[in-house]
């Protein structure tokens, strides 16, 4: 009986250490894609009239892994061209399996 108790305690300790080593917030595919999009966009070298510009980017990732920009919600055509030139038909490092649509908020802050 004593060996059974020791075995149960050992089992509980080993399984609790497995759960303690798991990452509580694993990085999802959409978070990896967001990180890649931000890297591709970089910092625009544009003259801004406002201190902060907020844009919405609607894009899709094809089954072949290509990023296609569908719409950029902005009033500045230069920013729209910048975003489309930096993202359109670039290779996504994240596999999505089939055509998938995404929305991304993109904020540009004027450097002082």
The phi, psi pair for 104, rounded to 5°, reads: -140, 130
Tell whether 51 is covered by a domain.
yes
- Which tokens hold the place of 67? 């990023």
pLDDT per residue rounded down to tens, the chain (112 residues): 677 777 766 766 666 655 555 555 556 878 899 999 999 998 888 777 888 889 999 999 999 999 999 999 988 898 999 999 999 999 998 888 889 999 999 888 877 6
Within a domain: 9: no
Residue 73, domain extent = 26-109
Residue 11: inside a domain, yes or no? no
Tell me if the pTM is above 0.85: no
Residue 27 CA to its chain's centroid (Å): 9
In sequence order, what are the residues at sequence separation of 6 or more whose Cβ sits closer than 8 angstroms to the Cβ of residue 93? 32, 33, 36
DSSP state of 66: B
Instruction: Name the domain count of the chain.
Output: 1
């Amino acid at each position: 009986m004593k060996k059974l108790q020791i075995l149960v305690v050992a089992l509980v300790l080993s399984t609790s250490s497995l759960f303690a080593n798991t990452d509580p917030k694993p990085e999802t595919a959409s978070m990896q894609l967001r990180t890649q999009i931000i890297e591709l966009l970089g910092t625009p070298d544009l003259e801004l009239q406002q201190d902060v510009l907020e844009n919405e980017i609607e894009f899709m990732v094809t089954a072949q892994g290509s990023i296609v920009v569908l719409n950029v919600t902005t009033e500045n055509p230069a920013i729209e061209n910048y975003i489309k030139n930096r993202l359109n038909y670039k290779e996504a490092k994240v596999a999505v399996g089939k055509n998938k649509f995404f929305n991304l908020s993109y904020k540009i802050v004027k450097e002082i």
